[in-house]
């Protein structure tokens, strides 16, 4: 059974993200198209990381009439206005994730199977605070990525070794 509180919280986050996106497009004199809002909605209902192709396929499977160019361009806008984060994990193509209203987290990337695991450690926030104070610097956001090999027995590449 779905958690109603988290569903309503997610809906609230989506509505706030939609308002931010609308204000951003108005400020930039960009058209507020149904396709752009549909892409935003799909992203904010998704879980985890995705690449452009995966998002495009999801949009097509939901019978949205969007081109790859629209998906690329809308993702660029969402990154610019701070609603989506773009990651470059190793040599793989760029991956994205929603970021408005979600807690800061960092990543573990398996160099064999390319799996990306998220983790949150409060000590990192303490380090961030200490760095801000020591260098009189206002950190707006950060990324931390650890690369290695997962110990998952189902790691696809490990089976081939």
Binding-site sequence positions for Zn(2+):
110, 113, 150, 155
Per the annotation, binding residues are: 106, 110, 113, 142, 150, 155
Helix (H) or strand (E) holding 147: strand 145-148
Distance CA 101, CA 36 (A): 19
- Phi, psi values for residue 119, rounded to 5°: -145, 155
Distance CA 22, CA 123 (A): 36
Q: Is 8 helix (H, G, I), strand (E, B) or coil?
A: helix
Per the annotation, binding residues for Fe cation are: 106, 142
Which 8-state DSSP code applies to residue 26? H
**Distances 96 to 26, 65, 100 between C-alpha atoms, Å:** 24, 21, 13
């Amino acid at each position: 059974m779905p958690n109603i509180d988290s569903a309503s919280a997610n809906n609230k986050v989506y509505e706030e993200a939609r308002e931010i996106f609308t204000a951003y497009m108005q400020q930039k004199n960009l058209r507020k198209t149904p396709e752009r809002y549909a892409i935003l909605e799909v992203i904010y209902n998704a879980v985890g990381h995705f690449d452009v192709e995966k998002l495009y396929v999801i949009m097509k499977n939901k019978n949205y009439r969007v081109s790859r160019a629209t998906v690329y361009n809308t993702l660029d806008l969402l990154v610019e206005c701070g609603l989506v984060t773009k990651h470059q994990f190793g040599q793989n193509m760029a991956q994205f994730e929603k970021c408005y209203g979600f807690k800061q987290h960092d990543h573990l990337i398996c160099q064999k199977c390319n799996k990306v695991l998220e983790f949150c450690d409060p000590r990192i926030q303490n380090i961030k605070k200490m760095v801000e104070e020591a260098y009189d610097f206002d950190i707006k956001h950060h990324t931390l990525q650890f690369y290695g090999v997962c110990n998952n027995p189902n790691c696809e590449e490990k089976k081939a070794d």
